[in-house]
Copies of this chain bind each other. A is one copy, B any other.
Amino acid sequence: MSKNNQETLRILPLGGLGEVGKNMMAYEFGDRILVVDAGLMFPENDMLGVDYIIPDFQYLRDNAARVDGIIITHGHEDHIGAIQHLLADIPAPVYATRLTRGLVEVKLARNGMANRAQLIQIQAGDTVQIGPFKVETFHVCHSVPDAIGLGITTPAGLVVHTGDYKFDQTPVDNWPTDFAKLAEFSARGVDVLLADSTNSERPGWTQSERVIGPAFDEVFRTAPGRIIIATFASLIARMQQAADAAVRHGRKMAFVGTSMVDNAKIARQMGYLEMPDNTLVSIEEALRLPDKKVVLMCTGSQGEPSSIIGRLSTGTNRHFDVKEGDTIVLSSHPIPGNEEAVNKTINRLIRRGAEVVYEAVAAVHVSGHASSEEQKLLLNLVRPRNFIPIHGELHQLKRHAVLARQVGIADENIFVVENGQVIELTGGQVRLGERLPGGYIFVEGESVGEIDLDVMREREQLARSGVVLITVTLDKYSNRLLKEPEVLTRGFISTDDADGLIPAVQKKVSDLVNGGGLDNEKLIADAVRSLLYNETRRRPMVFVVSTKM
């Protein structure tokens, strides 16, 4: 079909940073646009002060009237966390399965946008026509229920977009990935497959979510006191496992923290989290029960300082403290870059007397993403004409491409691209299109996009060596100093050590000014900079304020 048609589908991985097409993608046919996902990214360690990052969707903003719809594959933050920013500019209907819709609603309500969006509920298996895009949804396993992949048909051909997936044969909700639909696509002929690359460097198969049951049982059987389980607030499948273990071992369970409480409530209302009424208690009730009867579930498994686990580890939580006898389960894998923070948090919790159970010592976490053997199976199931690895950093995409070559996809039909690179499908043929300009949009407190890379570089300099402020007061007639120059430092050297250095700076400035009648702030600053560099080999930011009286 597609071979004879010369119409073009444009595939646009948006986002700027890191993982390709993870947080937002767009498909464009003719002048109509379909958006897939609207998630956030977590800042890297050198993105100082940034709360989170959203994709640069300027292209969509410029073409807002052409967007026919937004479809969300599942309810994790990296796929829904930017939805309020997107909807503020792009008033298109949002298509989502039941649980995903609930999680989107929670997020919109928290941002005062409860009634601003048109949410259209679908279910896995549904086919929806969104403008020129015929979207066939199919169920995939992941660490949140109700996740979907997409088959997108336009006159240019059929594209399969997996979203995050794994091939769990024994999922906790007994609902495996829809192999039949993948086979059906394959029979029809898939022009392009876009598939999740997260675990392309992991050999073998990802373990079933079900292995966590026995690991939790072991923890519940041996814990001498309270059990505190930390994970992401959106890992609904993990909530189910914890609730099941609580029932089996006769403990009551409380969710702690706004996002946990809200998400658990939505998931329970919609039937994606099943737990008896008499198992669920409030945190207040839980804290009054005997320790051996309690499970708390909260956030903070990534070592975030402001999370409940982060605060427990530093003794700064308000409602309760860690105590001897507590067992703390970190039920997640550190996001790259968070390893150090997670290790520090574990050390701090141990120091406070807790037993800490984490991925490295027990099977309390499994990945939600397919490993390399599953990725090869997907490729063999779908047998696409062209393959675009998505959802991964460049090195993971490259590795996914190696796997694709291993199962017989020809090199010229594999396209490893980064965000911003448009890919065009015409008559079954793929070629690279234009590059969209785009970068990072940093969100920090109330400000969206006010921080740019220049600001970040200034912060880096400040962070590395601090700041030195010099105030000189000159006689306006003679250009000589009226008093000793004042020197203030922050983040440069300790007060004790400044005692030796500051007089030298004052002398240098005095000599310069009184010697040559120098009144140029820039020249004074340069002289101080080189003095400080010679003395300390460091380069603080130096400001000079001079006033003439």
Give the B-binding residues of A (Cβ under 8 A): 44-45, 48-49, 201, 336-337, 339-340, 343-344, 346-347, 350-351, 356, 358, 360-361, 393-395, 398-399, 402, 418, 444-447, 450-452, 454-456, 458-467, 469, 471, 473, 488, 490-495, 497, 535-538, 541, 543, 545, 547-549
Partner of A446, one of B337, B495, B537: B537
Q: Give A543 to B544 CA distance when docked, in angstroms.
A: 12
Expressed in whole angstroms, the Cα–Cα distance for A49 and B46 within the complex equals 12
Are A455 and B491 in touch, CB under 8 angstroms?
yes
Whether B541 lies near A454 (C-beta < 8 A) is no
Whole-angstrom distance from the CB of A390 to the nearest CB of chain B? 15
List, in ascending order, chain B residues with CB within 8 A of A444's CB: 536-538
Query: Looking at the complex, which one of B340, B492, B541 makes contact with A467 (CB distance below 8 Å)?
Result: B541
B493 and A350: CB pair below 8 A?
A: no
A445-B537, A460-B463 known; A351+B394 contact, CB < 8 A: yes
Q: How far apart are the CA atoms of A361 and B350 in the complex, in Å?
A: 34
Shortest A264–chain B CB gap in Å is: 28
Q: Given A395-B346, A455-B492, A462-B467, is A445 in contact with B538 using a C-beta cutoff of 8 Å? A: yes
Residues of A contacting B: mostly: mixed
Smallest CB-CB separation from A356: which chain B residue?
B395
* Cβ–Cβ < 8 Å partners of A548 in chain B: 549
Bound together, the chains give a CA A103 to CA B488 distance in angstroms of: 42
Among B201, B464, B543, the residue within 8 A (CB) of A361 is: B201
CB <8 Å contact, B455 and A494: yes
Whether B473 pairs with A466 at a CB distance below 8 angstroms is no
The count of identical subunits is: 2
| Closest CB in chain B relative to A453 CB, distance in Å | 9
* Structural contact, A340 and B49, CB atoms closer than 8 A: no
Q: Are B471 and A466 in contact (CB under 8 A)?
A: no
Contact assessment for B45 and A463 in the assembled complex, using a CB-CB cutoff below 8 Å: no
| A351 cross-chain contacts in B, Cβ below 8 A | 394, 418
CB pair B340 A394 closer than 8 Å: no
Verify A491–B462 contact, CB threshold 8 A: yes
A289 to chain B, nearest CB (A): 28
Is the Cβ of A543 less than 8 Å from the Cβ of B488? yes
- Whether A337 pairs with B340 at a CB distance below 8 angstroms is yes
- With beta carbons under 8 angstroms apart, the residue of B393, B466, B471 that contacts A458 is B466
* Interface contact A493-B337, CB-CB below 8 Å: no
Kindly provide the distance from the CB of A316 to the nearest chain B CB, expressed in whole angstroms: 15
| CB contact under 8 A between A45 and B45, given known A447-B493, A469-B543 | yes
Given contacts A463-B48, A473-B547, contact A445 B536 (CB under 8 A): yes
CA of A500 to CA of B86, assembled, Å: 24
A493 interface neighbour in B450, B495, B549, Cβ under 8 Å: B450
In the complex, chain B residues whose CB is within 8 Å of the CB of A339: 336-337, 339
Q: A459-B491, A462-B491 are in contact. List 14 more A-B contacts (CB 8 A).
A: A49-B465, A337-B339, A339-B339, A347-B395, A444-B537, A445-B537, A446-B537, A454-B494, A455-B466, A458-B466, A462-B463, A467-B490, A469-B543, A545-B545
Contact of A490 among B450, B462, B465, B545 (CB under 8 A): B462
B497 close to A458 (CB less than 8 A): no
